[in-house]
Every structure is written in structure tokens, then in C-alpha cells.
Structure 1
Amino acid sequence: MSGVEALRWTEVIADAAERVGPSVVQLRRAAGPGGHPGVGSGIVVDEQGHILTNAHVVRGARRVTAALADGRTAEAQVLAADRPLDLALVRIRPLEGLRPAAFGDSAALRPGQLVIAVGNPYGLGWTVTLGVVSALNRSVPAGGTVLDGLIQTDAAINPGNSGGPLATLDGSVVGVTTVMLAGGQGIGFAIPAEDALSAFHQLRAWGRVVHPWLGIEAETEQIDAGLVRLFDLPASQGALVVRVLPGSPAERGGLRPFDLITAVGGRPVASAGALRHALRGCRPGETVPVDIVRGGRPRAPEIRGRGRPRGARNGRPPPRGAHGGRGGPAGGGASGP
């Protein structure tokens, strides 16, 4: 790369940071009883003062203070949070000159694409780091749940960055930074903008996120080679159903143990984590085609999902009388979408 080209790329990166920066806030949490003070980041979503951040940034907060990029501060109210997605919605009073972020198409990201992360690592203030999209559709255990469909990046994400934007070089926010791999270097993760915006609209309208639920347990990641041969499965990737809960949408739709789910609503499924992520694009009550392989033959039953019952996790039936509501994705070797 010539000196002129290097200078041009430097300007491109700096321009992207200047476009994103005014939409980034620092959030300081004053802890309630049994909690801990902390600092994180947030993204201004609209001129009404709504800010998107991570649920873990504001969890247990007695008071939250937002510091804008121009130095102004305001008290922030935590409106709602969703632990399974690690997203929360806070709001400050509308201030003159608030700069909502421009969100981009996270589904169009490709590994190797340059991105920047903007946030407040360790409470130091507005900080920009550069990296690439290392991988897509990662599943990562975090805070007693599993976050699915994440963007992996080597742009530095440190404590205090959580809730800040991951953006492309045109200044479009494509992710909300959330976790880093403990003990790893250059391994951080962000929630895709597509998922974050969907959660934002639900949190703002209803105060919660409704998670579509099928009522199954499914094998995660790679399916054992012996099972592939035994059940004549055409591939070793997908979500292999190992249990169908009685009375669940999956049972009513005709799913059986050892069906291999390869797509939901036209979205490819390569693992149980990918299945949970694909379900986010479905609305409870919506009838969705589910592509499966059974006995070596493709089928496409249509299943009408519903909101995840309270207490339904790891494929366990919900408590008697539970209905609707939220729940967390399962961890471990099997999971219960």
C-alpha cells in the first residue's frame, strides 16, 4: 500500500468515527442494594432520547447517568431489558442536538470486512478501535444464558465498551458490542443490528421481547457421525431434534425426534444456536415452514409457534399455568428453542 493509499484509508476510518461518535453515550450505573457500580456505553436511537445498551450494563442499577459525546449529562431511566438478548432500553429527556445513529444491514456483513468499535473502555471516554469481521453467527455463553447469531470481531472490546456500536466504514451501525472472550485477545462479539432493532421496537412498545418457541430439544453444533449413518441423514449440519415436548407447537406441527432441521422460514439452520437465531425472525402465532430431513427425505411441515412460556428452558416443560412471556436460550450440549 502506497503512502497516498494509506492516508486515504486513514481518512475513511476517521470519517466513520466522526459519523458514529456523536451517537455514542457513556452510561454510569449507581448500584442498588447488593449491586455494583459500573460503566458502559449506549447508542442513541432516536431524537426522543431512547438509548440502546446491554442489559448487563444497567442490571441492578439504582440510578443511571448518561454522558453525551459533547460533554452534556442527563439522568437516564431504564425502561425495559431482555436478558436472553442482553439488550436494554433506557431513555433520557429529549435534548437539543441529539444525534441518532444510522443503522446498517447486518445481514450483508462478510468475514474480513473492516469495522470500528466505539465506546468507553474502562470509563476512559470516547475511544475508537479498528478491526475486521472475524466470523458470523457465533453462539457464546454469557451471564447464565447463550447469545446466538453474534458477530465476531478482532476490534478491541474491553469492559466499558459494552452497549456501544460496531460500525462499518460508512458510519452505519451494524452491531451492539456485548462480550469479549475471557483470556482471549482480539475475540469480541456484537449483537447484529437486525436483532437489536427488533428488540428495540418490542421493548419500546411492550416493555419486553417475545421469543418464539417451538418446544423441542436439539443437538448443538456437529452431529455425531454415527447418528448420521444410523438415521440416513444427508448432512452433519443442522439442528437434530432429540426431544419434542408434549402439547408444544412442534408436536402439533408433526416434528419428531431425530428430524434434522435445516431451515426455518427460509433461513438456513446449521446448529441449534442457528435455529434459535432463525426463530427471532418469526412472530409468535405466525405459521412458519420448517425444512427438515426425515429418513433421508426432505419435508417441510408448517408450524405455528408461540411465545416462550415462562420457565421453559433446556426443553423442560413450563410450570403449570404458565403462558406467554420471556425465557432464555439454553446452554450446554442441547438446547430448547
Structure 2
Amino acid sequence: MKKFAVLILCSLISSLLKSQCLNADSLIATNITHINAQANWAPAPNAHHYLIHYREVGTSNWSNLGNIDSTMTSRNIPQLQQLTTYEWQIKTFCDSTNQPNSGWSYSDTFTTSAFIPSQFNPSILPIIANSTCGQNTAFSIIAQQLQNEPDISTSVFYSNKGQFEMNKISNGDTLGNASYSSPAISFSSLLVLDFKLGPNYAKIDMIDSLGDVVGFFVIENLSSGIKVTTIGPNDGNNYTNGYVSQINFTDLFVNPSEEGPIIFTADINSETGDTLQKIDSSIVISCPQTGIKKPDKETKLITILDLLGKEAKKSSNKILLYIYSDGTIEKRLYIKN
């Protein structure tokens, strides 16, 4: 009889717990900056999804954060003001109808930090896969900024040598890919030719996996070298959370036909009025030796010696050493029948 009573009691407790829709617990904010904070909680039993709202302490209006499923135990609270105290609460829903819910939890509070801007000093790095003169090569541009640097408003990236092979591309062609990674968001996209204006100007769209345009830039061929022009997106503030972005062209860049470094220059402007120029000459083009000695106009014959080291005149059927001003020595044998 006692065993039966215990079973009934456990069943009643289980039914009561299900009907009550208990809330999440152990609320705490971490990773607090001047603009963001991470809300954390211990999961509720039988949760289907959650809703968070937050506000400045002492104000009446709340902002909501939804789309929080039952597997999540943290959520970023964005777009905050520096040196401001906020409170936040969480509500648990126990099915998709939003009817059984826990009501709002107790409040957790936190205060954002002061904003200290970093120096505007983005890095722009060009990379090519093949440094052989005159050949097509994969070509990448990597840009990076640290947290709290002013956002880039515009950048113009150009070289003193090389060309984009635009005569072989058509509207809609995929020319490579791009990636972007920051603490808040990461995505990848394809580089798709939107249109060309003649053989030296093209607009490139960045298309994400959903087919949406997430950005664009312009490429050009100059009389000597290339040019890439970008405009930074307006994200509602003038400072970055830090990121690494990369644009990768597939065999679109053609190396110059002569040896030596390619000088890449980036003229960069910030949303707060900073200007910066970055110059890179780390890419050096080389041309394979053909085995044929190219004439050097500066090289002069100094003297002719025989095998004993004595000065000699040009003669037949005799091995002679020709000494040149650049230090090279040629062994010659003229045969006369």
C-alpha cells in the first residue's frame, strides 16, 4: 500500500512540474565590453525555447531577444552604451504555442566598460601562388583589423605591375571566393562578375550561400598594374570588433613579364577621418633561366690569357681564356682547318 502511495505521489509531482513550466536559473552576465555582454543561465527542465529582455536600469522600455532554442545556455546582448548599467531577465516556454510559460525571472544586472579606441592601423597583405613571370596565378588580398580600431570607410589597393585577365571573363562568371571572420559573425561568399565596362573595368559581387549579395568591389587594369576599390558597409557605428577578411581570385591575375618585386600600395580611409598608406614589396617575380646567356652591354673584355696565365692574342687551334669585366671567364678554342 505504501509503495502504491509513493508511486501516486511521484506521478502527481511529475505532472505538477510539467504543468508549472519552471524557469531557467543561475543568471549571470560575462564577457562584458563597452558595447556587448553575454547573458548566461542554467537550463530549465522541459524547456522548448526562451525569450530574453533587457533595459537600462531606471528606464521603462525593454528590448527583446528571441530565437533562443532549448539547447542554448547563453546569448549575446548587443548594441549597448558604454559605462551604463543594464538589467536582464529570461522567460521559459515549454511548448511551441507559447502558452505554458514560466513568467519572467529575477533580474541580473551588469555595467558596461569604458570604450578606449585603438589606433587605426589595418594590415593589407597581397599573396600570389605562382611568382613566375608572365603566368596566370591565384591572387589573394588579406585585410585585418584589431578590436576597437576605427572602421574602414574606403580603400584603394593598387600595384605598379601585373594585370587582370578580363578579356576571358563574362557576366555571371565565378572568379574566386571570399571569407570574413569576426567575434560577432563569420561567413563565406563567391566572387561573381556583375558586369564589365570594356577590357579594364569590372564590378564584382560577393554572393553568400543563400544567393544574396553581401558586398561588392571594383577591379581595374591601369596602364601599369591593377586597382581594387572597396567601400566599407555602414554597420551603425564607427569602430570594429576586429576581423580578418580575405578575397581570393582564381588565376585571374597575370604576373609581369620582367623580374623583380611588385609594389602593392593601399590607400585606406577610416570612418573617423584617419588616412593611412601601406606599401608591400614582398612579392618578387622571377623568370626561369633559358640556358642562353643574354648579352650584357656593360660587360667588357679585359684580357685574353693562355693556359699558363700569360697574355695572348686571339689565335687558332689553341685554348684561350677570355676574362670579362663582370668577373666571368670563357674558355674558347678556335679550330682552323
TM-score by length of 2: 0.21
Which has the higher Rg, Structure 1 or Structure 2?
2
Q: Kindly indicate which of the two structures has a greater share of residues assigned to strand.
A: 2
Q: Kindly indicate which of the two structures has a greater share of residues assigned to helix.
A: 1
